[in-house]
A and B are shown apart, each in its own frame.
Chain A
Amino acid sequence: MTFIEKKSKLKVVGTRPIRPDGVEKVTGRAAFGADLAMPGMVFGKVKRSPHAHAKILSIKTEKAQALKGVLAIATTADFPNIPSEEAFVGEGPVNFRDLSRNCMARDKALYDGHAVAAVAATSEAIANAALDLIEVEYQVLPHVIDVEAAMAPDAPLLHDDLFTQGVDPKPTKPSNVAKRVHFELGDVKAGFREAEVLVEGTYATQPVHQAYIEPHACVASWNADGQSHVWTSSQGQFMVRAYCAKLLAMPIANLRVTPAEIGGGFGGKTLVYLEPVALVLSRKAGRPVKMVMSREEEFRGTGPTSGAVVEVKLGAKKDGRITAAQAVLKYQAGAFPGSPIGPGCMTGFAMYDLKNVDITGYDVVSNRPKVAAYRAPGAPIASFAVESAMDELARKLGMDPIALREKNAARDGTKAAYGPTLKDIGYVETLEAAKNHPHYKTKLGPNQGRGVASGFWFNIGGESSAAVHITEDGTVAVVSGNPDIGGSRASLAMMAAEVLGIPVERVRPVVGDTSSIGYSFMTGGSRVTFATGMATVQAAENVVEQLKKRAAMIWEISADAVEWRDGKAYPAGSNAGDFEPLSLEAIAAKSAKTGGPIGSEISINAQGAGPGFGTHICDVEVDKETGYVKILRYTAVQDVGRAIHPSYVEGQVQGGVAQGIGWALNEEYVYDAKGRLENPGFLDYRVPVASDLPMIEAVLVEVPNPKHPFGARGVGEVPIVPPMAAVANAIRDAIGIRMPSLPMSPPKLRAAIDKAAK
């Protein structure tokens, strides 16, 4: 595989062709998870706990079973009792026992909305009526919602077998603290002694939902011989296959999963909720079962990202050089262990070249839905705290916030706080671009302010498969194993076209089901353009070698004497012979006579995903009477390695910023005194819409990743990392008030303004 360094040599990569899935989406023909219908299909619905924490004493289903049209009822008794077993097969370590109990409660309901039973019936109305006839007897238990309350010694316990990992000696009593992690570099105490300026603060974030527009949806069909098929909207058909097989104790080969188009995931579709339940109902009903979540179920029953409390302390010399950095992070995991505390600890200070760092993290369970991944899991939370503290430090030092970051920026050769030495990174380039952007120089009016913040994400590679097939007329099919949530079909087709030397319009990319392409880890971690792109490039390169051999066979010369350029085979110099070039179409037309179909499938485990950095500038205006914050202007600078399809990359950046602004200003879960969610809908859970936001300008900095043939880095995670601090820092600049707790909603801002006036 060749690394193509010079952008000028590229003909397809870096251009902006029309997306291959565009027309069917804008004409409403794209088939999403809820669009599939099958002959004989029935409808599944889930009964959910109304209690935040309760023992399930009994579940009586006789009345529901007797309702005409009810074909099956499922409870935990229909699922294998899975022992505790951790595995790393998805977006983080998964305990299959917990995953099973999250899909269907066993013994205890652990949050408002926890699934306790399910029904399959001939209509949705009958299924809903049957849910009301299922009688569940609960013993309500004390509950705990917030992270610090859950850590208290006298907090209600969710799991009596949960003992804090990572502390020595092992605790003798169970608690809600699942894990303690600790990272250190240098001598933080000495670093603080050396400091001439100190800042410290405590910051809080709320759990926020990924708020994908399409809810979870699937159809499951269990055949009489045990072979089954699931059609689903998810971030990984192979993930759904693996999880369902494990949870239902079935051979993986007995399950085929076909990915539907996906209407957003952002990490929230990296787990199963409905699919195992639909399979059980289908097995019991003898019919295909369709299940679609309502928006209320999405909020009550699926995972947001963690809420958290983060304490940060920074020490610096008067010239701005940071001498010590310390943080304590407390992340809610929801009902089962597994918050993104590890990456939170590793990312908070990753933008900086620090000699003395001490980071402690806690993973804490509470009576909320189990958290799921959300873009750059854990990083935005840590960065909100660290980047707010950096702003305070800049103010205390009287330094420009970009200059302070430049002074301490991670560069090639910087040892990251979590250990390794960083290389081939482009953080400084983002700071430079932000500093020189016209946005940074514009004047502000009254009650207006400007904030700056940076962010980091590792990016990952992993297992990926892709196939490139030449059709009989010389057009090309690219098949991959990854659902397309961010433009991967376009980028894969473009990379294949670049290698083959043909226009991208002649390449048609599709996403294969689990039986038609090799295993691929899920779409997440900003890995697909990097890893599956690498597989596609290798497959295309194999195809080029085959094409050269076929041309050599037609010309009766050695394959070594053939070269491939611009989609055609040429004799390599005059010694090779005097032949007219053979086009891909001409070679494809002769494929039967030269050895059969031309194609290649490559499966790899891609390594070397380059980390990504971003720096954002945000201008706000604060209405002091109402507390309303208007985003006036937003510029997001990001090192993207090399943008394969710049429009998609800009879209990723803009989307991440929009979600980050929602996290900053409005989004939160509101629970009543009984632990019941009071705002499970988009009317009361306020995500930003287009009219709330200005045009978000994405500035793409390209510091190529040498591990990828075209220099690509993952781009989807970084843009959600800086916005909360960028907005908070802008508010601080506008009205002189530091908002340490999200969301910075009008009521909270009003209260802070009133408090400051007293």
Chain B
Amino acid sequence: MPKVVLSGTAVRRFTGGQTELEVKATTFRRLVLELDQRFPGLGRQVEDGMAIAIDGTIYQDAYNAPLGAESEIYLIPRIAGG
């Protein structure tokens, strides 16, 4: 199962401080749904305020980003620029 790491402390309040989660999800969309089911409010927070880095590539707003069983998956704050 893919392992998701929460980078930074911003969303750890939803998980009771847990920083690594094993998930069944195979896409970012399913991850959001699963997180919301397990930790109410976290899915929306992730969807609206975070990006996902999968094997080093950062995706923002990408429901279909695939989560491989062996992928390195980080949830990080969203990034913009000037």
Q: Which residues of A contact B (CB under 8 A)?
A: 86-88, 90-93, 165-166, 168, 180-183, 210, 266-268, 270, 342-343, 345-346, 373-377, 418-423, 457-463, 524-527, 605, 607-609, 707, 714, 716-717
Answer yes or no: B58 CB below 8 A from chain A CBs: yes
- Chain A residue with minimal CB distance to B63? A605
Answer yes or no: B61 CB below 8 A from chain A CBs: yes
Q: Which residues of A lie under 8 Å from residue B60 when comparing CB positions?
A: 460-462, 605, 607
- Min CB–CB distance A638 → chain B (angstroms): 15
Answer yes or no: B33 CB below 8 A from chain A CBs: no
Known contacts A183-B7, A418-B7, A418-B8; decide if A463 and B61 are in contact (CB<8 Å). Answer: yes
Q: Which residues of B lie under 8 Å from residue A166 when comparing CB positions?
A: 9-10, 13
Q: Which residues of A lie under 8 Å from residue B23 when comparing CB positions?
A: none
User: Are B58 and A458 neighbours in the complex by a CB distance under 8 Å?
Assistant: yes
- Min CB–CB distance B27 → chain A (angstroms): 13
User: Are A460 and B80 neighbours in the complex by a CB distance under 8 Å?
Assistant: yes
- Chain A residue with minimal CB distance to B78? A88
Q: Which residues of B lie under 8 Å from residue A420 when comparing CB positions?
A: 7, 53, 56, 58, 72, 74, 76
Shortest beta-carbon contacts, A-B, top 5: A525-B81, A267-B82, A420-B53, A419-B7, A419-B74
Known contacts A88-B48, A525-B81; decide if A346 and B57 are in contact (CB<8 Å). Answer: no
Answer yes or no: B68 CB below 8 A from chain A CBs: no
Answer yes or no: B62 CB below 8 A from chain A CBs: yes
Q: Which residues of B lie under 8 Å from residue A181 when comparing CB positions?
A: 8-10, 77
- Chain B residue with minimal CB distance to A524? B81
A607 partner, pick from B7, B58, B78, beta carbons under 8 A: B58
A527 partner, pick from B5, B61, B81, beta carbons under 8 A: B81
Q: Which residues of B lie under 8 Å from residue A717 when comparing CB positions?
A: 81-82
Mostly, the A contact residues are: loop
Q: Which residues of B lie under 8 Å from residue A266 when comparing CB positions?
A: 82
Q: Within B44-82, which residues are at the interface with A (CB < 8 Å)?
A: 48-49, 53, 55-62, 65, 72, 74, 76-82
Known contacts A419-B7, A707-B57; decide if A376 and B72 are in contact (CB<8 Å). Answer: no
User: Are A460 and B56 neighbours in the complex by a CB distance under 8 Å?
Assistant: no
Q: Which residues of A lie under 8 Å from residue B76 when comparing CB positions?
A: 346, 418-420
A327 to B53, CA, bound (A): 23
Question: Chain B, interface size: which category?
Answer: 20 to 34
- Min CB–CB distance B31 → chain A (angstroms): 15
A525 to B60, CA, bound (A): 13
Known contacts A463-B61, A608-B57; decide if A526 and B81 are in contact (CB<8 Å). Answer: yes
A84 to B18, CA, bound (A): 28
B49 partner, pick from A88, A267, A345, beta carbons under 8 A: A88
A461 to B51, CA, bound (A): 12
A419 partner, pick from B5, B59, B78, B82, beta carbons under 8 A: B5
- Chain A residue with minimal CB distance to B81? A525
A182 to B9, CA, bound (A): 5
Q: Which residues of A lie under 8 Å from residue B53 when comparing CB positions?
A: 419-420
Known contacts A168-B13, A422-B56, A608-B57; decide if A377 and B80 are in contact (CB<8 Å). Answer: yes
User: Are A91 and B7 neighbours in the complex by a CB distance under 8 Å?
Assistant: no
User: Are A91 and B56 neighbours in the complex by a CB distance under 8 Å?
Assistant: no
Q: Which residues of A lie under 8 Å from residue B56 when comparing CB positions?
A: 420-423
- Chain A residue with minimal CB distance to B75? A419
User: Are B81 and A373 neighbours in the complex by a CB distance under 8 Å?
Assistant: yes
- Chain B residue with minimal CB distance to A457? B81
- Min CB–CB distance B51 → chain A (angstroms): 9
- Min CB–CB distance A231 → chain B (angstroms): 23
B8 partner, pick from A183, A458, A524, beta carbons under 8 A: A183
15 contacts between A and B (CB under 8 A): A86-B48, A88-B49, A183-B9, A268-B82, A270-B82, A342-B8, A373-B82, A377-B82, A418-B74, A420-B56, A420-B74, A460-B81, A462-B61, A607-B60, A707-B57
Q: Which of B7, B56, B72, B81 has the most chain A CB atoms inside 10 A of its CB?
A: B81
User: Are B49 and A182 neighbours in the complex by a CB distance under 8 Å?
Assistant: no
B82 partner, pick from A342, A375, A422, A458, beta carbons under 8 A: A375
Q: Which residues of B lie under 8 Å from residue A182 when comparing CB positions?
A: 8-9
- Chain A residue with minimal CB distance to B5? A419
A607 to B57, CA, bound (A): 8
- Chain B residue with minimal CB distance to A378? B82
User: Are B59 and A607 neighbours in the complex by a CB distance under 8 Å?
Assistant: yes
A345 to B69, CA, bound (A): 29
Q: Which residues of A lie under 8 Å from residue B81 when comparing CB positions?
A: 91, 267, 373, 375-377, 457-460, 524-527, 714, 716-717
A342 to B62, CA, bound (A): 21
B79 partner, pick from A270, A343, A374, beta carbons under 8 A: A343
- Chain B residue with minimal CB distance to A92? B80
B80 partner, pick from A86, A525, A607, beta carbons under 8 A: A525
Q: Which residues of B lie under 8 Å from residue A423 when comparing CB positions?
A: 55-57
User: Are A608 and B58 neighbours in the complex by a CB distance under 8 Å?
Assistant: yes
